[in-house]
Chain A
């Protein structure tokens, strides 16, 4: 499958600051992207998704930005809280191919300190 990678394996931020987690993908045919959060000892949890016909989508305290020109995806977390500490994964797929085959990046460990 196509590779999905992350620029930063670890990110440490102070509580209250904004966090930005980046992700690069290589498959230009990818048209659907998801961010997951995985806390220690738990399975990945859906955060937010975005389709390729959009360049920005906002959720509660989170914003995903998509730049198809450079095949780059980012997750912005506003006012980061200790509970945001986790590994964050981006995942991508080409919905024109086999439905269900998501390709995950390696993940970024976000640590929030008081």
Chain B
């Protein structure tokens, strides 16, 4: 298996633009997590899904952020409109057993200028 695949690896966008991050979890995994990593706040859980259903989105910073999982092999994290403070590395992770041994993707480095 190729592991968790995220795209793009790097994204530079102007403030106010819409940004869509993509994730393909490991086949067969039933949990999918979106994390954000910054120097100031470290790793933060934004939202997670179980069997394509959002379970906990309390980490989503505000209404500008939305996440979807239309099927078991694909998820998106959208920011609209983007702001400079959204600049961070966004990780997607998937797991077969919820918490234990979540496998992380390579991350998307987002820069909003």
Contacts and interface: CB of A to CB of B under 8 A. Distances in A.
Given A43-B105, A43-B107, A46-B103, A100 B33 contact: yes
A43 B91 contact: yes
Given A49-B100, A99-B99, A101-B56, A41 B106 contact: yes
A45 B103 CA distance: 7
Contact of A44 (B31, B50, B98, B104): B104
Contacts of B103: 46
Interface size class of B (residues with CB under 8 A): 20 to 34
A104 interface: yes
Nearest to A44: B104
Contacts, number: 57
A101 B44 CA distance: 9
Q: Main SS of chain A's interface residues?
A: loop
Interface residues of A, number: 22
A60 interface: no
Interface of A: 32, 34, 41-46, 49, 89, 91, 93, 95, 98-102, 104-107
